[in-house]
Amino acid sequence: MSLWSFAQQNIREEVYVHLSSNDLIAGETLHFSVFTRSVATGRLSGLSSLVYIELLDEAGDVVYRTKVYQEEGRAAGDIFLTTDLETGRYQLMAYTRWMKNFESYARQELTIVNPYKVYTSRSMLEPEVALQFFVEGGRLLAQRENVLLICARDQYGEVQPLKAKLLNGAGEKVEDVNFDALGVARVVLKPQLGERYQLAIETKDTFRFVDLPASCDDCAQLHVYEMGEQIRIKISSGEGWSQKVGQLLVVSSQGILLDQQTTLTTETLLVKDQLPQGALVAQLYVDGIKVNERLFWNGQFAHADRGVKTYSSRTKVTEQFELPKGSRVTVSAKKQYGSESPQSMHSGATRNSLVSWPGIASEKWTAPLMDDVMLTSTWDLDTARIDSVRYLPEFNSGIVQGKIEARVGELERFVNVALSFQGADFEIDATATNREGVFFLKYDPSFANNKGVVRILNDPEQRYLIEVYPEFYTQYPAWLAAPLQFDSGRLEQITVRSIANQIENAYFTSVKEPSAQRKFPEVDGMVSYVLDEYTRFSTMRDTFIELVYQVGVSKNENKYYFKMRTADIDYNDKYDVETMVLLDGAFSTAEDILNLSPYLVERIDVMNKRYFMGSVMFDGIISIKTFENDGGDTAPLGAPMDLIEVQPEAQVVGTDGVLDLHKPMMNDLLYWAPLVVTDSTVFEVSFLTSEVKGRYVLQIEGVAPDGASISKSMYFDVK
């Protein structure tokens, strides 16, 4: 199957990021685990091999960027929170390159407190509460009972406690309206046609009146109910539409599941087991126009109450969970400080909600809550095939993309460009631009670095300009973050955490990750000159003249060029192509190499035959390798790339079960295993408690082989 066909079948990717914590202090490490799924199937996606991570402050400025290598939709990494960071609210963004075609990304909010810097809190604005109304069925149908969902949020997206009354057209109270802890109220209303209803909200001094949506008679409703093993879709209409005929569609991310003509007073039953799991949508069309849309969820929310266990400090904890074999999960055991926002794989269901939902713990997700989320959500998935995209997926390699433009006149077709990295052995790619001047160059993330350049080949007159597209998003929507507020209890908690963290860091031993190694690629016909095996000459010019017979160099010290004495070419071969000249893996010039001190050089590699990289041809290769592998004092030839290096593979955090009585245990993250694959239906977790007492949560988040979300948690105390 071609890459394009694979991408077409898995058109959309979505990312969920599980954090070790979303409430941290400077000096701690934020660990993250990434699940990249196909929106069409829910299964982990093998389309993208890199995930891009950004940490943004309250102003939207990027304070940290990194990339992590991904295999079959799973990746993990970490961010050490330095003492340069300001206290405040932050956003962590995560996405694949393919997701940029759809302007999509995952977003997690977190709080970082820096106890080593003075923090001046911004003034909290007076809450401006906005109400959003969602009618079960889509429209308020006159003379019928309607269920109305009302959501209350302030300008920060925070839940606001409200007291309100529902008033009829005469200003009389119909009923009191009570909002729950999630800022949601349910109202059952049988409106009279033409009558105006209002919500009277109590404020400090008076009432604020908000109009409810108007009722209608020439309209229809679309209800979705769960009935045991079936889904019931009921269509109702007012008198004005009683004789009309509509079209009912049920759609998933995989395509259309049901398409049937229907009256506007009918019911349809669907069998759950015959439907895909996850979010689905029922749509009603009348006269060719979509008049109603209702999202609903097909899935289970079974939570086993494991109770709250108690353990002593420095004690081994072992727990077992039932999970499908082959599930890919992240396991964490973390102290709860009361200021965290709960995390759950199910929270991905709020992605298309028009309401800002607070963090909801995995055990709090229920079918009624999910139904409320679905009622507030819109369907934004286009199941049609896409014809063109700007960004190709990074399937088995990283991609550098850019565009060539002519300085004067029109661009020639198929201009050759090449990519190289200083300090990386032969991490090179070359290609031709397309008709629009756009190019795509590949690199191996394990060996690329931040000293990469892209250059135009065969352009001594510099006829072209080159633009390298940025790896990361250049901007995000504005975010209004609520100011942090600290009471005495929170300040004491931060002090205790800071001291414990300093003790942990004092005993921390850094493990240097070995650099990725590979054998220098064998190029047919390459000859190596190791300079220590010869008498060293005082200049590189003399070294080439006396040793490297394959390359012609002028004795005139004011002339800088290499003339490759190319072997095995036809007399009629008139191709004017340049020689690949490399200095420590990056493109360089004859002038830079001839001015280099030969005492810095370890060897010279030469291949005096035509060399092809895809459709791009070079007139041989000259490669200089210095002892320090740093290019001496020269910069690589080409347009620099702002390329972020890939993090090394993430490690498991936690004790190995062996107690060190001479070492304090002040860690509040007891266990973090980001890349677990279950090998049976019984999954066992073991770790040691520390000396930090309090309430902890053991959490398992992941994806089953069939694409179903996994979200399990249990709480325990350490005393």
| 140-216 carries CATH number 2.60.40.1930 | yes
CB-count exposure of residue 707 (10 Å: 0-12, 13-18, 19+): middle
Contact 454, 441 (CB under 8 A): yes
Within 13 Å and on the Cβ side, how many CA atoms surround 548? 32
**Cα of 39 vs its chain's centroid, Å:** 14
Q: Tokens standing for 209?
A: 């009146």
Geometric angle at alpha carbon 368, from 363 and 371, rounded to 5°: 110
Looking at residue 705, the DSSP 8-state letter turns out to be T
Helix (H, G, I), strand (E, B) or coil at 545: helix
Distance of alpha carbon 497 from alpha carbon 87, whole angstroms: 15
Strand extents, DSSP E, 371-437:
398-406, 416-421, 429-432
Q: How far is it, in rounded angstroms, from Cα 608 to Cα 604?
A: 13
Q: What is the pLDDT of residue 514?
A: 56
Residue 410: partners with Cβ closer than 8 Å, 6 or more residues away: none
Of 104, 38, 45, whose CA–CA distance to 74 is shortest? 45
Count the residues in the chain.
719
* Tokens 């960027």, residue located: 65
Q: Class assignment of domain 409-462+519-640?
A: mainly beta
Dihedral sign for Cα atoms in the order 20, 22, 27, 31: positive
Q: Which residues pair with 50 in a beta bridge?
A: 69
What long-range pairs does 215-219 form, CB within 8 A, spacing at least 24? 215/139, 215/140, 215/141, 215/142, 215/146, 215/191, 216/139, 216/140, 216/141, 216/142, 216/240, 217/141, 217/142, 217/143, 217/193, 217/241, 219/139, 219/141, 219/291
Per the structure block, which two tokens stand in for 39?
A: 């929106």
- Give the tokens for residue 18: 């599980």
As a three-state string, the secondary structure of 23-81 is: EEECCCEEEEEEEEEECCCCCECCCCCEEEEEEECCCCCEEEEEEEECECCEEEEEEEC
Residues of the chain predicted below pLDDT 70: 1-10, 302-305, 381-387, 509-522, 571-572, 574, 655-659
What was the pLDDT predicted at 583?
96
* Structural contact between residues 147 and 154, judged by C-beta atoms closer than 8 angstroms: no
Task: Give per-residue pLDDT as tens, 54-104.
Answer: 999 999 999 999 999 999 999 999 999 999 999 999 999 999 999 999 999
User: Which element (helix H / strand E) includes 493?
Assistant: helix 488-506
DSSP 378-392: ------SPP---SS-
Helix (H, G, I), strand (E, B) or coil at 395: coil
**Helices and strands per DSSP (H, E), number in the chain:** 5, 48
- Please give the Cα distance from 580 to 523 (Å, whole number): 13
Domain ranges of the chain: 140-216, 409-462+519-640
Distant-in-sequence, close-in-space partners of 713: CB < 8 Å, separation ≥ 6: 361, 362, 363, 697, 698, 699, 700
Residue ranges of E strands in 486-614:
527-530, 551-552, 563-564, 580-583, 586-587, 601-607, 611-613
Q: Distance between CA atoms of 367 and 372, rounded to whole angstroms?
A: 9
Q: How far is CA 143 from the centre of its chain?
A: 47
Q: Which helix (H) or strand (E) holds 541?
A: helix 540-547
Contact call for residues 637 and 586 (beta carbons, < 8 A): yes
Beta strands in 124-244 (DSSP E): 130-135, 140-141, 146-153, 163-167, 173-178, 184-189, 198-202, 207-211, 215-216, 220-227, 230-237
* Alpha carbon 169 to chain centroid, angstroms: 49
DSSP string of 594-615, one letter each residue = HTS-GGGEEEEEEE-S-EEETT
CA angle (585 as vertex; 579, 589 as ends), nearest 5: 45
Residue 651: predicted pLDDT: 86
- How many other C-beta atoms lie within 10 A of the C-beta of residue 477? 6
Instruction: Give the residue from 559, 657, 38, 614 showing the smallest Cα distance to 316.
Output: 657
The domains spanning 140-216 and 409-462+519-640 adopt the same CATH topology: no
Task: Answer whether 303's CB lies under 8 Å from 710's CB.
Answer: no
The β-bridge relationship of strands 452-456 and 639-640 is antiparallel
How far is the C-alpha of 635 from the C-alpha of 583, rounded, in Å? 10
**Cβ-contact 281, 275 below 8 angstroms:** no
Residue 332 in tokens = 């964490």
**Sequence-distant (≥ 6) Cβ neighbours of residue 172 within 8 angstroms:** none
